[in-house]
Amino acid sequence: MWLAITLHARAGDVEALSDALLEAGALSVSVEDADAGMPEEQPQFGEPGEHVAPQWQHSRITALLPADTDPAAVVAGAAADAALQHPPAYTTSTVEDENWVRLTQSQFDPIRIDERLWIVPSWHEPPDPDAISIVLDPGMAFGTGSHPTTRLCLQWLCRHIHGGETAGATVSQLR
């Protein structure tokens, strides 16, 4: 069992308060837009050439700590370390200890691209043994394979690659 402490912070205090919570023993700290889903919600990523504020005006910080932690002491100490005049109000909740790897893996099933191609996480059996299975574990570099551009590219390859094709260029062709 773990203790989650959630508090709100202004943009200028988020980094120092998050660092102070980690120094106080937090196993993790997450920061979210406290105004998410409301008219005041602020995008962090915009269209090319569009100016977007580098931080949310109001953030919700959640720190995960051992269950026997004194939340008042942690928040007061973190606020002092972050040079805040007053400790922010906070709420607590408990987080059950789970097999986080298995829980994360359960979110990802094989993805059918077409009748002969599947993207299959390594912990699953290929659904169609006669089809081509790309064994791919979700991650930062390639993601899950479910993004529309990935699917469209793979579907295009399925329609146009039939065997025997080659790709490449010689060095002289690249100059």
DSSP states of 125-139 as a string?
A: --S-TTSEEEE---B
Q: What is the pLDDT of residue 71?
A: 97
Q: What is the pLDDT of residue 120?
A: 92
Tell me, yes or no, if the pTM score tops 0.75.
Answer: no
CATH topology of domain 2-97: Alpha-Beta Plaits (3.30.70)
Q: What is the pLDDT of residue 86?
A: 94
Token pair 């928040």: residue: 75
Between CA 147 and CA 57 the distance in angstroms is 30
Between CA 5 and CA 64 the distance in angstroms is 7
Please name the amino acid found at residue 72: A
Angle between helical axes of 71-81 and 14-23 (0-180°, round to 10): 130
Lowest mean pLDDT among 37-51, 93-107, 153-167: 37-51
Q: What is the pLDDT of residue 144?
A: 79
Token duo for residue 20: 């102070």
Q: Name the residue with higher pLDDT: 2 or 144.
A: 2
pLDDT mean over 65-77: 96
Query: Could you read off the pLDDT of 33-58 as tens digits, one per residue?
Result: 998 889 888 887 767 777 766 788 89
Q: What is the pLDDT of residue 125?
A: 93
Q: What is the pLDDT of residue 87?
A: 94
Token pair 């922010």: residue: 88
Domain ranges of the chain: 2-97, 107-160
Token duo for residue 164: 């025997």
Confidence of residue 116 (pLDDT cuts 50, 70, 90): confident
Q: What is the pLDDT of residue 28?
A: 94
